[in-house]
Structure 1
Amino acid sequence: MINYDGRRFRKVSSDPDAPVTLYNQKDDIIWAELTGGSVRLGSLTGKCGPDGTIDMAYTMVLHNGAVISGHSVNTPEFLPDGRIQLNEVWERYGAHAERGTSSIVEVRD
């Protein structure tokens, strides 16, 4: 199992202000709080599988007032420089229902 505790991730985008999210882990449980960019406050909670795949639920309140909730399965990929990229397959529920894929990449100082 990959230990995500203390690792920071940012959405793969051209936006230099994209929020950076600090992941926490205890045993197989993962959680994080996020702010920045269009997100006023968000959180995620999930479970890490033996192969490092994260199965999580998330909620966000955006600056435009929208409240978003959904589910995501994030599969790790190791980049040549040793960082982790999480390839996400996500689904949003309710009024903002949508499905898609995206990636977040580990940020190092």
Structure 2
Amino acid sequence: MSTAARVHYGGRRFRPADNPGGALGEYFQRGDLVWAEFSGAGVLAGRLVGTCRPDGVIEAAYCLVGPGGETVAGTCVSTPTVLPDGRVRLTEQWRRMDGTSGVSHIEELSGSEAAVSPGLRSSAGARNEGRAADEGRRHHRRPRGSER
């Protein structure tokens, strides 16, 4: 394994290294701005947004909603390592708003894993679907006074 000099995160997909069935995160990058959307295995929806330093380290804030509706938010510093097969492993030092902290490891999916993994909806797609659902609810409301 080697420390990464500069990693471009756009289009990469990651899962917990110790839990291949864990939440799947899809990363995006524009310049030094990095963001990710993640869900699955105990995460209904999660977002991360931050910046990428010249050495490939990401400094970010994150938030997520768990299966019971609980919210979790915090910050993390993610340090990349390039694995022998070229995939990226991130060592994430995180601290939640409640004061708890820890270290997690996520690894980029291999080409074959990425090809068979279900896709995440983009935020624009999710916003459009949400807007359509809101429109549907607005048009199906009962007139006032007609409640049973």
- TM-score normalised by length of structure 2: 0.69
Q: Please state if 1:47 is matched with 2:55.
A: no
Give the match for residue 84 of structure 1: 88
Greater RCO structure (CA 8 Å; 6+ sep): 1
User: 5+ unaligned residues in a row in structure 1: which ranges?
Assistant: none
Counterpart Cα distance in 1 of 2:100 and 2:86: 32
How many residues are aligned here?
106
Q: Please state if 1:31 is matched with 2:35.
A: yes
Code of the aligned partner of 1:37:
A
Give the match for residue 107 of structure 1: 109
Counterpart Cα distance in 1 of 2:80 and 2:37: 20
**Structure with greater helix share of residues:** 2
CA drift of 1:33 comes to 1.1
User: 5+ unaligned residues in a row in structure 2: which ranges?
Assistant: 1-5, 113-148
Give the match for residue 10 of structure 1: 15
CA drift of 1:17 comes to 2.3
Counterpart Cα distance in 2 of 1:105 and 1:52: 15
Counterpart Cα distance in 2 of 1:76 and 1:98: 23
Give the match for residue 76 of structure 2: 72
Q: Structure 1 stretches (4+) deviating beyond 4 angstroms? A: none
**Structure with greater strand share of residues:** 1
Higher Rg of the two aligned structures: 2
Counterpart Cα distance in 2 of 1:82 and 1:2: 11
Give RMSD over aligned pairs: 1.0
Sequence identity of aligned pairs in percent?
A: 42
Q: Please state if 1:56 is matched with 2:60.
A: yes
